[in-house]
Structure 1
């Protein structure tokens, strides 16, 4: 009986040892599952992040050009409207000046409210000065002559159409310059202008035109001069 009990104990011990060995082997066996990837600590660039220091900045767009249109009562609407439209289509900002702030009436009834009084104008504040012709043009206006002289001295684009080139002539800025106009050829030549009779004439920064039929080309020539 005692011998049988000893055998049973021995069997139990052997079973426990075998169980321990099986457990140890299972824990040391290589795993067949793929390794777990660790999250990367390197951040990828994202859209919308600020540019790094030293990166090229976007160029600043050029400032809009400024043009001053000088008109008087009985101005010619085509000589005013078409060049203005051409300039504004090109991004030029137009300001209108006259002898007062009273509404100015064109020869066909169009009314324009001036923005400034011509006597308060300085050519240095603009890139182009444009004199518009018409039946009521003030040929002898001292302020117009002053502004024309300032524009020439400041290297501004200086333009006049129809009868208005007479102002440039009387201001002394057409001396030795090619020019045209609708009338008053002898008056322009008397002030030293070189008469060409062209539809539109450009000599440097001075642009003249002979009347309403030339209005659009007159405006385009002003824009070309401003873009140079």
Structure 2
């Protein structure tokens, strides 16, 4: 079983209107296991969640080095659509898969992964309003609250945020040393 204390996770949030629970619940689950969490966005200014949480990102998206992390997570919320067609976000998702990292996305954020081409032929879930966008890129929509497909973990919305966080930890725990 992998030691979690030495692991690092990157959570990517929208500059505005990330979904509070989809950041805060998985973040707490990871930090409770002593996993170091870094938050990235397109600005280092305070980012405001849809429900009012305020978070100051640690890192600009343009400074992200995928190799520095064990887990890369795209957080959902209405603002997450800013990454759907963002070449930098796509590159981060693609590199995460190439480098065999754990890659997660929740709510509408799995659309970013689909548009990056990393969900083609893979089982995934997404917020119900975006099912067609996933399927159009070749993903196999399952409708589950959380879908684990190898090292790619998708969650369908805020009500599955805790289960999403736990699924990420479980995949991390089962990595070979």
- Do Structure 1 and Structure 2 share a fold, with TM-score over 0.5? yes
Shift of 1:62: 7.2
Matched, 1:197 2:139: no
Give 1 or 2: higher strand fraction. 2
Divergent runs of 4+, >2 A: none
Q: 1:106 deviation in Å?
A: 0.6
RMSD: 1.1
Q: Tell me how far 1:147 sits from its aligned partner.
A: 0.5
Which of residues 24, 45, 59 in structure 2 aligns to 1:102? 45
Q: Any unmatched runs of 5+ in structure 1?
A: 1-60
Task: Choose which of 163, 169, 172 in structure 1 pairs with 2:117.
Answer: 172
For 1:166 and 1:135, locate their aligned partners in 2 and report how far apart those are by CA, in whole Å.
Answer: 12
Task: Give the distance between the partners of 1:119 and 1:81, measured in 2 at CA.
Answer: 23
Larger Rg: 1
* Structure 2: runs of 5 or more not aligned: none
Deviation at 1:122, TM superposition (A): 1.6
How big is the shift at 1:216? 0.5
1:145 is the counterpart of 2:87? no
Aligned partners of 2:63 and 2:77: how far apart in 1? 23
| 8 A contact 1:122–1:150 mirrored in 2 | no
Contact 1:97–1:117 at 8 Å: present in 2 too? Answer: yes
Give the structure 2 partner of residue 118 of structure 1. Answer: 61
